[in-house]
Structure 1
Amino acid sequence: MNCQVCGHQNGKPHFGVIACKACSAFFRRCCALKKKYKCRHNGICEITPNGRKICRGCRQMRCNLIGMEPERIQYNRDPLGSKAERMALSAYSPGEQSTSSSSDDQTELRLINRLVENYKILEQRRDQLYERRQSGKPRGRALNFKEVNRSCMDECVLRAHWIAATFPIFKSFSFNEKKIMFANFFAGNTILYLGKMCCLYGRTDRIIFSNTGNYLDMQNIQDFYREEDDENPSKEATRLGQASKI
C-alpha cells in the first residue's frame, strides 16, 4: 500500500490512514512536541518518497488533510516513536528548518492579496453570468427551485476556479480529497455570501441571490416549488411549501 502522505510503497495503517514509517514518525513527533510548521512557498511544495529536503509545512498540512488522528498516538509508550521510525525520519528529511516570522508574514500577505484579487475576478464573472441568465426577464424577482438549483451549479464552477487560482496546492490533491474539501467549504461560504447580499439590500425577509436582486421569498415559500409559467402553484408545490414551514 502506498503512503497517503508521500506515496512511498511501504505504507501501513498508522493513526487512521495509510502511511510509511517516516511520515508516521514525523506526525508523531509534531504532535508530541506540539510543532506547527509553515511553508514559505505558498503551500505548493512537492512531497515525494525520495525527496531529501521536504518542506515540513506542506508535509504537516498533508498529514492533517488526509485525516491522521492525534488521539491514536500512544504517548506513554514512546512520545517520539520507535528507533526505526526515528531513523527513517532522520534519513528521509535531514536539515529541514522552519521559516522565520518575517518570511511567514510576507508569505501570508502575498496570499491575502492574491485571494482578494482573485475574488474580485470571481465577482466580475458572477455578475456577467447572472446578467446573461436574466435574458430579458425582470430584475428583482422571486426565484423558483429550478433557478436556484441552476445558480448553485454556476456557483460551484465559479468558486472551484477561484480556489484553484488562489491555492495552487489544491490541484495536487486527488479527486476525492478535492470533493471532500470543496463540499466542506461550499456550504459555509454560501451562507456568508448570501448574508452579505441580504445586508447590502437591507432585507431580512428575503434571501438575495445576486446583484440582479433576484431572491427567494421566505414569506411565500410555496412559490419556490412552482414552475415559471404556472400562474398558480400545483398541489404538490403547495404541499412542499407547507412542509417547509414546519
Structure 2
Amino acid sequence: MPILNTLATNYSKLENIRKVVHHEEERSVFQDFKYFSVRSPKSVTYKEANRVSSKECDLVADWILNSYTGFADLPKNQKKILFRNFFLPFVILQGGYFACIHNRNDVIILASGDFIDCSHPETFYYDPEGRQLMSSEDAVRMFASSFSNYRRNVTDPMLRDNVDDKEFFALCTLILFDTGETGIILQSLHIH
C-alpha cells in the first residue's frame, strides 16, 4: 500500500531528525555532524520527558503533513482538531511500538531514545530542583500504577502480537482520522 510506504519513508526521516533535535544541546559547536556520536539512552525524570514531548509536537506535525496526501489542504481548524486528538494517543502507541522494536516492557522508551524506568518510578518523579509540589514518594504512591496499566494495556499486547512497522503506521492512521471526533469534516480528504 503506497500510503504505508510513504509513512515508513517519512518516519525514517523523522527518526534521523530526532537524533539531532533531541541531542543537539550535547553537541559541541566544533563537532562535525557526520562524526556525531550517539550517547547511551538514560532514565529520565518527568521534566525531561515533558521536554521531549514538547520537541516532538512540531516533528510529528511535520511527519503528518509530509505523509498524508491532502492533509495540508484541510482547513486549519480541522488540522488542529485532528492533531490535538492524535498527539497523545500517538505518543502512547509509539511507546508500545518502541517496546516491540527493543523487546522490552520494563521501560517506556521515548522518541529521544531515553526511557522511563517503570521498575523505579521514583526516578521519574524526582525533581532535582526541588520545586515539585509533592514528594517523589507521594507521586509514586499516586501515579505509579499508571506504569503497570500502560504495560498491561499497551506494551504487553503489542509485544504479544509482535506489531511491525506497517501495523504501527496503520494504527497511526486510524488514530489520526478518528471520524468519531467532534468537529471533524473529512469529506474532501483523499488518502492514497
Bucket of the pairwise TM-score, normalised by the shorter protein: 0.5 to 0.7
Counterpart selection for 1:167 from 68, 77, 80: 68
- C-alpha displacement of 1:139: 2.5
CA contact (8 A) 1:143 1:216 kept: yes
- SS of 1:185's equivalent in the other structure is helix
Deviations 1:117-150 (A, max 9, x none): 2121111111222232555996332101111111
- Provide the residue aligned with 2:140 in structure 1: 241
CA contact (8 A) 2:107 2:116 kept: yes
Deviations 1:77-117 (A, max 9, x none): xxxxxxxxxxxxxxxxxxxxxxxxxxxxxxxx443332222
1:128 aligns with 2:8: no
Matches within 5 A, 1:1-246: 109-134=1-26, 139-210=40-111, 212=113, 214-228=114-128, 236-245=135-144
Change in Cα spacing, 1:241 to 1:133, as seen in structure 2 (3 Å) is farther
Q: What is the aligned-residue RMSD (CA, Å)?
A: 2.9
What is the CA–CA distance in structure 1 between the aligned matches of 2:25 and 2:95, rounded to whole Å? Answer: 18
Flag structure 2 segments of 5+ consecutive residues without an equivalent: 29-37, 146-192
- Provide the residue aligned with 2:31 in structure 1: none
Under a length normalisation based on structure 1, what TM-score does the superposition of the two structures give? Answer: 0.47
CA contact (8 A) 2:52 2:111 kept: no
Under a length normalisation based on structure 2, what TM-score does the superposition of the two structures give? Answer: 0.58
Overall identity of the aligned pairs, in % = 27
The structure number with the bigger radius of gyration is 1
CA contact (8 A) 1:170 1:178 kept: yes
Deviations 1:42-101 (A, max 9, x none): xxxxxxxxxxxxxxxxxxxxxxxxxxxxxxxxxxxxxxxxxxxxxxxxxxxxxxxxxxxx
What is the CA–CA distance in structure 1 between the aligned matches of 2:133 and 2:3, rounded to whole Å? Answer: 50
CA contact (8 A) 1:143 1:224 kept: yes
CA contact (8 A) 1:209 1:215 kept: yes
- C-alpha displacement of 1:225: 2.2
| More relative contact order, 1 or 2 (CA 8 Å, 6+ apart) | 2
What is the CA–CA distance in structure 1 between the aligned matches of 2:144 and 2:3, rounded to whole Å? Answer: 43
What is the CA–CA distance in structure 2 between the aligned matches of 1:112 and 1:235, rounded to whole Å? Answer: 44
Change in Cα spacing, 1:115 to 1:140, as seen in structure 2 (3 Å) is closer
- C-alpha displacement of 1:169: 2.1
Change in Cα spacing, 1:211 to 1:237, as seen in structure 2 (3 Å) is closer
Letter paired with 2:123 = D
Flag structure 1 segments of 5+ consecutive residues without an equivalent: 1-108
